[in-house]
Amino acid sequence: MGRWSKARPRPAQRPPDVPGEMPSIIEPQLATLVSAAPGYGDWSYEIKFDGYRMLTRIEHGQARLFTRNGHDWSARLPHLRDVAAEIAVDNAWFDGEATVLDADGKPDFNALQNAFDRHRTQSIILFVFDLLWLNGRDLRDEPLRARRRVLHDMMDSIQTPLLRYSEDFAQDPESLIAAACKMKLEGIIGKRGDSPYRSGRSTDWIKIKCHLRQEFVIGGIARTKGAKAGVRSLLLGVYEPDGGLRYAGHVRPHLTPRQSASFQARIERIQRVRAPFRNPPAPDRDQELLWLKPEVVAEVSFLEWTPTGEIRHASFEGIREDKPPRAVNRESAVASASRKR
């Protein structure tokens, strides 16, 4: 399945779990965007990997890998599935991030996307950062530091470069985010050391980014007036609390010839007559707009939000086929995640 495939990443239907048995699906815990690190509290910090969230379920010597929406990607990552199946456990759930590292050892999101596009995923590795279940025991109510101690000892015994432990760092968060930005990484993740694992968005996990970057829904394209093909820019939107899709700006995509041809074919399937946006933009004199069903999600970095709710100086990062369009809204950083307990 290429990144422009027709299939849409809707959340998988979760079968009911049997009390006391290992869950069939675990919804991941998600971090809250903040503008600065907390001033106090028991926090640990890790690198924010530029990749796809991936949870691994192991039972009876077989492993399965799930996206954040519960879709089984085991067949797309057979090398990770096979090495995970060799871990010496009766059953387990791991949380982590699938990524590709460049020649300098830094996560490369574009290389990750190309690996999936070309069905050559052997370069994808999995950084594991949490252990949710082990040998019949639910660890989600245990504090993070206790879970990670067990995980660290387990990962020390795994001899493969495909599965790696996500280290946490002792530096103060200001120094760590400065170092991450200097290395052109996406940012850092902070986690409360005394917190349990709770599915869904939480202020017990926070993310501090080096620059503004988030997902947008593609609701149309702009092309040169009179042209039968080609894409000058993608028209982007975010869902508002009332369910309406609001236009939020545009970005010029950077696509390989193969990706461009695949996207052009997709356009033919998802065209619509009316704009999906509640505030559709007007075309420039030399262009025309083509409206699309809001089924594709793009990741975009940008300088800032304007007072009118549009992004400035946008840069295309890639397509996120692992995230459902309806989950895309404007990310707003909170001042601080600190709170006394």
Active site residue 323: no
**What is the reported pLDDT for 339?**
47
Q: Which of 48, 207, 209, 323 is catalytic?
A: 48
Do strands 168-169 and 29-33 pair parallel, antiparallel, or not at all (unpaired)? unpaired
Q: Write down the domain spans for the chain.
A: 29-209, 212-327
Nearest to 213 by CA among 140, 316, 136, 309: 316
The fold for domain 29-209 equals D-amino Acid Aminotransferase; Chain A, domain 1 (3.30.470)
Rounded to whole angstroms, the Cα distance separating 154 from 146 reads 13
How does pLDDT run across 236-254, given as a tens digit for each residue?
Answer: 999 999 999 999 999 999 8
Residues in the chain: 341
Neighbours of 183 (CB within 10 A): 12
pTM value?
0.79
CA-based radius of gyration for the chain: 21
What's the angle, vertex CA 102, arms to CA 175 and CA 158, rounded to 5?
85
Residues of the chain with pLDDT under 70: 1-16, 335-341
E strand intervals along the chain = 29-33, 43-47, 52-59, 62-66, 91-99, 125-134, 137-138, 163-165, 168-169, 187-192, 200-209, 212-224, 233-239, 245-251, 287-302, 304-305, 311-312, 315-319
Candidate CATH numbers 3.30.360.10, 3.40.50.720, 2.40.50.140, 3.40.50.12280; the one for domain 212-327: 2.40.50.140
Joined together, the tokens standing for residue 116 give: 């999936």
